[in-house]
Structure 1
């Protein structure tokens, strides 16, 4: 059996657990009865490895109650159909705006097909069992309840989830102040994005658990700097980005080897 490397009580992040980057952040949230859920799943080719790791941590596979999509981008949800096959008791949960591309396997709106960049991968369709919206609660049982936040901007169906002092913050913001990419064809909206970031800035969650990169403290100055930057995008006719790398991912690869310690985290 594998020891459980909890980043916070009742929360395991699969990349930290594995001590290597497997893809997007995949959060396993569990209660005292060993019932559990996953927030995002990543690409299809890592699903079997992730679920085997979970089994080796002594979580009964039959006890997975929910598979939650933060939003319908391929790097978060390509593996949902396969995960559902391996975890048949789990309900797939998404925002209504994410449900349609998920259920249709829409390769364009999920970014599985970007011809200009030579990207063309499968996007298996997956039935959404439950649609959630702002203010809903995902109740795992016991004291483990996730409050649903609708945080549009990166996509129109982007969700975040409040759990005590933690906010599973999706692609809203990362530790270096970067945000999920902004692209009109999959529902990005800069004013909505700014409003979502302002909400995160003003909330009293102590930690942000993003969909990419390291967990980090909720720092007002970081959020404000990012909000200020996005405000400038409202007035740029040539807005767009074609970055060639992302240094934060390299930093995270190194940090995963060390594990996560809230006492020393930034």
Structure 2
């Protein structure tokens, strides 16, 4: 397994490419749009002989979905999101893309998943964890000893809850859900550096409440 990160410069949003070493199948997680980062993502996939199967969205805000259409049109990869995020994805005002540099974005996922649904990516086994709070359909993605936490959990902080669909009590419940996993699980958030659940349990004030 390999994880490659690209950073969308306008909002500092992390775009991840998750790939299986043996099958060369891969998924792009949260493809933001800006400074030709979408072209860099496709170039990386091509140059490394990867096969893009899925575009996976931890949630539907504009900074996380801006390049979905661009990449899908060029690869025909299937878009995956949580079932409760459909409303946000289909509304440019609710997903805030109408106010962002990416321009208005409205799209439908090919596959909507629910809590604890699983997916195979080559030899990798992904588990989707519904973690609402930042949005109604926020989710984390667990694969092996890694977890993509989107805007639910950052290193030292959490995603804001004052936007449409946000709910602080819900994100508290989601953080408790995540905290049950092993300390050595490495987290890859939607913004900022990676960390581990153990470090966040000890130092992140929102995890210790």
The question of 1:194 aligning with 2:166 is answered no
Structure 2 unpaired stretches of 5+: none
Q: Going by fraction, where is strand more abundant, 1 or 2?
A: 2
Q: Distance in 2 between matches of 1:33 and 1:141?
A: 5
CA–CA separation in structure 1 for the residues paired with 2:16 and 2:151: 14
Structure 1 stretches of 4+ with a deviation exceeding 4 A read 20-23
| Aligned equivalent of 1:56, options 47, 50, 64 | 47
Q: Does 1:92 align with 2:79?
A: yes
Distance 1:192 1:13, change over 3 A: same
Give the corresponding residue for 2:120: 139
Q: Conserved in 2, the CA contact under 8 Å of 1:81 and 1:125?
A: no
Which of 2, 19, 22 lines up with 1:30 in the alignment? 19
SS at match of 2:206: helix
Equivalenced residue count is 203
Distance 2:185 2:40 in 1: 31
* Structure 2 counterpart of 1:153: 133
Query: For 1:10, which of 2, 15, 37 is the aligned residue?
Result: 2
How far 1:123 sits from its partner (Å)? 2.2
Alignment check: 8 A CA contact 2:32 2:38 kept: yes
Equivalent position to 2:55, from 55, 64, 67: 67
Match of 1:179 in 2: 158
Alignment of 1:217 with 2:196, yes or no, is yes
- The question of 1:80 aligning with 2:62 is answered no
The 3-state SS of whatever aligns with 1:25 is strand
* Equivalent runs, 1:155-170 vs 2, <5 Å: 155-170=135-150
Indicate which of 104, 107, 110 corresponds to 2:92: 107
Q: Distance in 2 between matches of 1:152 and 1:127?
A: 19
Per-residue deviation, 1:121:
5.3
Encode CA deviations 1:163-186: one digit per residue, 9 max, x unaligned: 1211111111221x2211111x52
Aligned-pair RMSD on alpha carbons? 2.1
Contact 1:167–1:209 (CA under 8 A) maintained in structure 2: yes
Aligned equivalents of 1:75 and 1:207: distance in 2? 23
Unaligned runs of 5+ in 1: 1-8, 230-266
Q: 1:36, 1:64 within 8 Å by CA — same for their partners in 2? A: yes
**Equivalent-residue separation in structure 1 for 2:185 and 2:102 (angstroms):** 37
Normalised by the size of structure 1, how large is the TM-score? 0.70
